[in-house]
Amino acid sequence: MRMFSRSICTTALATLAFGATTLPASADQTPSGAPQNIVQAEATDAHQVAQRSHVQVASFGGDNNDSTNAAIAYAHDCTGCHTVAVAFQAVLVTGQPSTAAPENDAIVVNDHCTSCVGFAFAYQDVIATNGPARLSDDANDKVHDIAEQARALARSDLSPADLNSALESLAAKFKQTVESGIVGAHQRGHDFERETVRRG
C-alpha cells in the first residue's frame, strides 16, 4: 500500500528577523542520525547575488525518522540583493522507525533590505521499503544529472514564477528517477512527498 502526503505552500515574506546574523549550521544528519539536507544562500552586500542548490539521496534505518530538507534564502542589510536556495531530498527508509516525522521547509528572509528578492524551493520524497535498499548505478548517474540541472536553474535569471515551474518539473523527474531506480527492496510501504516554495 502506498500513501502520498503532499503539501504545497507559497508565501511572500517581506521582513523577518532570525534573531541572529548568521544562518544555522548545515550537517549531513539530524541528532537522531536521519539524513539532513540544508541549503543556505546568504547575501549581505549591495546588489549581491547568492544562488545555491543541493540534491541528496540517502538511506535511513534508525528508530526516529526526522529527516530534514530545507532551502533558506537569507538577505540582510543590503539593497537590491538576490537570493535563491534549492533543496531536493530523497530518503530510502530501510527499517521500521517507531517515529516518522520528516520535515521539509523553504524559508525566505529579507531583513533590513531594500528591493531585495528571495526565492526558496524545497522538495522531499521519503520512501519506506523493506530494505536493504539503494539506487542502481544508472539511477545514481541520472540523479547526478538532475543535480547539475538544479544548479543551473538556481543560477539562472528566470523569474520566480518560471523558476518555480521549472523546478516543479525537475522535482517530478527526480521523484520518478529515484522511485524507479530502487534496487534491493521487494516491498514498499508509506511514502511521504512534500514540496514547499517561498518567495519574498
Q: What is the pLDDT of residues 117-168, one digit of tens each?
A: 999 999 999 998 887 888 999 999 999 999 999 999 999 999 999 999 999 9
**Which residue would you say has higher pLDDT here, 41 or 97?**
41
Q: What is the pLDDT of residues 48-77, one digit of tens each?
A: 889 999 999 999 988 889 999 999 999 999
Side by side, the strands of the sheet bearing 68-76 are: 36-43, 68-76, 103-111
Going by C-alpha positions, the residue among 157, 126, 142, 2 that lies closest to residue 59 is 126
Rounded (to 5) percent helix, strand, coil in the chain: 20, 45, 35
Mean of the per-residue pLDDT values for the chain? 81
DSSP symbols for 142-154 = HHHHHHHHHHHHH
Confidence of residue 96 (pLDDT cuts 50, 70, 90): confident
DSSP symbols for 151-191 = HHHHTS---HHHHHHHHHHHHHHHHHHHHHSEES-S-EEEE
Dihedral sign from CA coordinates of 194, 24, 162, 139: negative
The cell for 71 is 532551502
Q: What distance in Å separates the CA atoms of residue 96 and residue 117, rounded to the nearest whole number? A: 42
Going by C-alpha positions, the residue among 96, 113, 118 that lies closest to residue 163 is 118
Q: How many CB atoms lie within 10 A of CB 162?
A: 12
Q: How many CB atoms lie within 10 A of CB 14?
A: 11
Confidence of residue 24 (pLDDT cuts 50, 70, 90): very low
Going by C-alpha positions, the residue among 28, 100, 91, 104 that lies closest to residue 64 is 100
